Copies of this chain bind each other. A is one copy, B any other.
Amino acid sequence: MSAAYHPSQKIYFGAAYYPEHWPEDRWPEDIRLMQEAGMTVSRLAEFAWSTMEPAAGEFDFDWLEKVIEMLAEAGMETVLGTPTAAPPAWLVTAHPGVLAVDESGRKVQFGNRCHYCVNSVEFHKASARIVRAMAERFGDNPHVIGWQLDNEYNRVCYCEHCQKRFQEFLIDTYGTLDALNQYWSTAYWSQTYSAWEQIPIPIGYHNPGLLLAFKRFITASYRAFQQMQIDVLREYIPEETWITHNFMKWYDLYDHYEMSADLDLASWDWYVGTGYTDYRSSGAAHDLVRGFKRQNFWLMETQPAHVNWTPLNNVLYKGEGRANAWHAIGHGADAVLYWQWRSAYGGQEQYHGALVDQSGQPRPFYSEAQMLGRDLEKVSDLLAGSTVKAPVAILFDYESKWAFEWQRHHQDFDYIEHLLNYYRPFARRNIPVDIIPADASLDGYKLVIAPALNILTPERVEKLADYVEHNGKLVLTVRTGMKDEYNALLPNRQPGPLAEIAGVEVEDYYALTDPVLLAGQRFQGNAHIWAERLRILDESSVNVMASYGAANGWLDGAPAVTVRYTGRGFVYYFGAYLEDNIQDNTLGYIANFAGIRPVLEVPEGVEVCRRITPAGTDVYIVINHTRGERVVELPWSAQEHLSGLVLEEGIKLRGYSVAVLTKTKQEEI
């Protein structure tokens, strides 16, 4: 856990605000409307480079200071963004090398975002200068509680400088070309490199070892750029002021765990896009971000009503936005900020949802934001410092994800979808789940799931074996244990060195054209997409939970799902990718067997999250994610904090409505 970020003393509520788009005399009205919505924080300056530094080395921060003061007077704190995602025209004109080069070899055009080469020396210099200037001016401003670096890092550069840096990175990583040639199997297709300068930045599909190394180089490049900004900031800002970056959902250009390691706080930008919220899937994204630092996070951006960048930018259903905010809080968000307060008259995002419209008046969605503001006024204290605890951990691994993106083998095999196939049974039962890095400690979990953990390292293997050795319950799944850390095949059958604890090995894998019916003791249903033919290595300790029915001749009758118990822990191996129904039943059974109980039993479509206060009080956040009324029966009498009512038997929740409960007296469950 970071030194700078402590469990939050309130749940922050606010929006991204761009005062530089508006005349100064408009600011008071904006701030008045923010106040009326109950906002407590504003996010400023992230794209304001050309306003703050209109020419090289000429700074203008007075306007920004004024806004921070006005906000403070209205009771709002500020998060400042460094503006490096938008290098100004004067910079790219003076130093064309600042512009990234795209995959086709052309300079990226000025005028959109993130047009920079992350490794450009001139860009680092210019970025350091603006960050330093901002830090000098605002580093000790008491109203600035945190800093966000750049915005949604997302560019790959293919310039010659980057290629050179990549080659240097490879020298650092491998030491010798012999090692590199060995790890990448370059005898294959005469790919042998006899000089570092021969190694390209990969365009399209390429040698898997090279592809993985280049991904690591991208991570290293962004991490260095980020660290440079952190180092500058930390010269000026107090220890308790935190630094974050706003990440994007399952986005995977780089390894988010590595990027988060240097930050104090994880935050992310959640957009539903086209359609409506599926809370059983979206909860996983929140849990992912909570796992970046294994602490609460900020929802730095979320959509007011609709976005502008999908093919069909519908609005959220009335009430859904507030429900989504509570969904985020239930999963560990300590802040909810809308993007954005109001659209500029011009620019690429004119059609994006906002709280205030072109006329400066509130849009209809503003009323929903107001409700949320009132909610938080009532329960922010209650939730102060509260956190989420989960009995189940799902292991996530960016490198395995990349490996699958390059080599899906079956077009419908999607690493995230496969993970969600293991997540949803818990979400449906209101069992909290942590999503954590594959290298994290597993202490304290009743159940650990390692979905499609394709890439194994000796450390991972040892950690998982150790967990089982200490009576853990571990679920391994299809495509686990095939690759080493260079994205090369392991010299064992799947699941590689985990075969020992699983008690099975994979004789072969099968991308399925058609579903295959499984026959198991308890469960009826199909495997689809992927099936592995398992061989039992230790008959004495392994039980077959399900076998394949008639399939392609190769699978027929073979074990599909097994469990091994040797007196210490349980290791499940899912060689079959199960359809949702049978998956739900099977995982429900396993959860129950592991002694894991729902936070609360509620009707379909109702989610219950639990945050636990520092004093140990359970706070239940109950969300009706449906459009119809739902009745939740309570096993105990409860205080409902949004209405102030005491509930003896249960609660009727209208569509998309929310309740925040504590037990009137702590009973034993």
Query: A residues engaging B (CB < 8 A)?
Result: 18, 20-21, 47-51, 54-55, 83, 86-90, 92-93, 104-106, 109-113, 183-195, 197-198, 200, 202-203, 205-210, 274-275, 305-306, 308, 311-315, 317-319, 343-351, 357-361, 363-365, 407-412, 482, 486-493, 507-508, 510-513, 533, 552-554
A66 to B533, CA, bound (A): 37
CB pair A513 B111 closer than 8 Å: no
Tell me which residues across on chain B come within 8 A of A47, comparing CB atoms: 188-190
Once A314-B510, A361-B493 are accepted as A-B contacts, the answer to whether A346 and B183 lie under 8 Å apart by CB is yes
In chain B, what residue has the closest Cβ to A20?
A: B187
Q: Which residue of B lies closest to A553 (CB)?
A: B318
Pairs A-B, 4 closest by C-beta atoms: A318-B553, A185-B346, A188-B347, A86-B190
**A346-B50 contact given A18-B188, A319-B553, CB 8 Å threshold:** no
Contact B21 A111 (CB under 8 A): no
Q: B111 contacts A351, CB within 8 Å?
A: no
Q: Is A189 touching B112 in the complex (CB atoms < 8 A)?
A: yes
Known contacts A312-B511, A552-B318, A553-B317: does B409 contact A111 (CB below 8 Å)? no
In the complex, are the beta carbons of A194 and B89 less than 8 A apart?
Answer: yes
Asked if A111 and B191 sit within 8 Å, CB to CB, the answer is yes
Q: Report yes or no: A315 in contact with B554, Cβ–Cβ below 8 A.
A: yes
**Are B89 and A364 touching (Cβ within 8 A)?**
no
Choose one: B188, B190, B314; the contact of A87 (CB below 8 Å): B190
Inter-chain CA distance A358–B508, complex, in Å, is: 10
Q: Which residue of B lies closest to A556 (CB)?
A: B318
Whether A350 touches B208, Cβ cut-off 8 Å, given contacts A188-B344, A343-B489, is yes
13 A-B pairs, CB-CB below 8 angstroms? A89-B195, A113-B189, A187-B344, A312-B410, A315-B508, A315-B510, A318-B554, A343-B489, A345-B488, A350-B488, A351-B409, A359-B492, A365-B508
Contact B189 A109 (CB under 8 A): no
**Within the assembled complex, what's the spacing in Å between the Cα atoms of A89 and B493?**
32
A51 touches B187 (CB 8 A): yes
Do residues A513 and B274 form an inter-chain contact, with CB atoms below 8 A?
A: yes
**A89 and B191 form a contact (CB under 8 A):** yes
The answer, among B88, B112, B200, for a CB contact under 8 Å with A109, is B200
Q: 9 new A-B pairs (CB below 8 Å) besides A47-B190, A314-B552?
A: A20-B187, A89-B191, A208-B350, A312-B511, A313-B409, A315-B511, A315-B554, A359-B492, A359-B493
- Closest residue to A406 on the B side, CB-wise? B348
| Closest B residue to A90 using CB positions | B194
Which B residues touch A408, using CB under 8 A? 311
Q: Is the CB of B489 within 8 A of A202?
A: no
- When distances are taken between beta carbons in the complex, the residues of chain B under 8 Å from A411 are 311-312
A92 to B190 Cα, complex, angstroms:
12
CB distance from A624 to the nearest CB of B (A): 14
Which residue from chain B places its CB closest to the CB of A499 in the assembled complex?
Answer: B359
A428 CA to B277 CA, complexed, in Å: 42
Q: Is the CB of A192 within 8 A of B348?
A: no
Per a CB cutoff under 8 Å, which of B106, B363, B482 touches A508? B363
A339 → B minimal CB distance (Å): 14
B191 close to A313 (CB less than 8 A): no
Pick the residue among B50, B106, B200, B410 that contacts A111 (CB under 8 A).
B200
Which residue in B192, B209, B314 is a CB contact (below 8 Å) of A88? B192
Question: Chain B contacts of A194 at CB under 8 A?
Answer: 54-55, 88-90
CB distance from A165 to the nearest CB of B (A): 18
